[in-house]
């Protein structure tokens, strides 16, 4: 983890989700500014690839890898931690250490894996309220998906309402380990992270 940050919404600017918005993001990165994206959002208009997310194929955006290759920007992941009693937020950052692979599926898979690790750090803080596994209209079918299958059922029969962090939450409540063998966060006792700080 890089640490925590405090920021003001006064410095945030939104970019439209179209080509003009992408151009705006590229210009901001070339000026050395930071941009933000939500990598767990399903891209529209066929602007993604199928990559694993919590063990299931999920249509995943390719824009972060394309922007990194084009601008050389560092890739950071951030998660907000709600503080007790409405005392605000702490924002935690982690670095994706290496340049993403050129292959879009490999790059999206690496981003999803990094996002999974971030979610597993504190699964009860992850807000997920839509079908992450849906097939957008212009996207090709997911690997193993039957053509014409209802897209709101997701892939591999995954229910649209199923939260992909269920497994992480179960591990946290059991005090178990995640798939990578790291100690899962125990909601009752907390856990000691790689930085040696108690959460």
Per-residue confidence (pLDDT) for residue 155, from 0 to 100 = 42
| pLDDT, averaged across the chain | 76
Per-residue confidence (pLDDT) for residue 179, from 0 to 100 = 52
pTM over 0.85: no
Per-residue confidence (pLDDT) for residue 148, from 0 to 100 = 60
User: Residue range 34-63: average pLDDT?
Assistant: 90
User: Residue range 112-141: average pLDDT?
Assistant: 89
Compute the C-alpha angle 168/174/176, nearest 5°: 70
Per-residue confidence (pLDDT) for residue 61, from 0 to 100 = 93
């Amino acid at each position: 983890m890089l640490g925590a940050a405090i920021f003001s919404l006064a410095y945030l600017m939104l970019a439209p989700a179209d080509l003009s918005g992408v151009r705006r993001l590229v210009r901001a990165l070339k000026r050395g500014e930071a941009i933000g994206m939500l990598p767990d959002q399903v891209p529209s208009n066929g602007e993604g690839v199928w990559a694993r997310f919590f063990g299931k194929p999920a249509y995943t955006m390719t824009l972060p890898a394309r922007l990194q290759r084009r601008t050389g920007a560092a890739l950071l992941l951030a998660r907000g931690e709600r503080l007790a009693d409405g005392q605000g937020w702490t924002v935690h950052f982690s670095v994706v250490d290496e340049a993403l692979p050129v292959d879009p599926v490999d790059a999206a898979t690496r981003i999803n894996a990094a996002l999974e690790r971030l979610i597993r750090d504190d699964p009860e803080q992850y807000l997920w309220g839509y079908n992450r596994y849906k097939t957008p209209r212009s996207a090709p079918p997911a690997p193993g998906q039957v053509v014409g299958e209802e897209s709101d059922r997701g892939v591999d029969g995954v229910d649209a309402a199923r939260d992909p962090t269920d497994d992480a939450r179960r591990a946290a409540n059991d005090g178990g380990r995640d798939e990578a063998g790291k100690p899962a966060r125990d909601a009752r006792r907390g856990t000691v992270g790689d930085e040696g700080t108690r959460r």
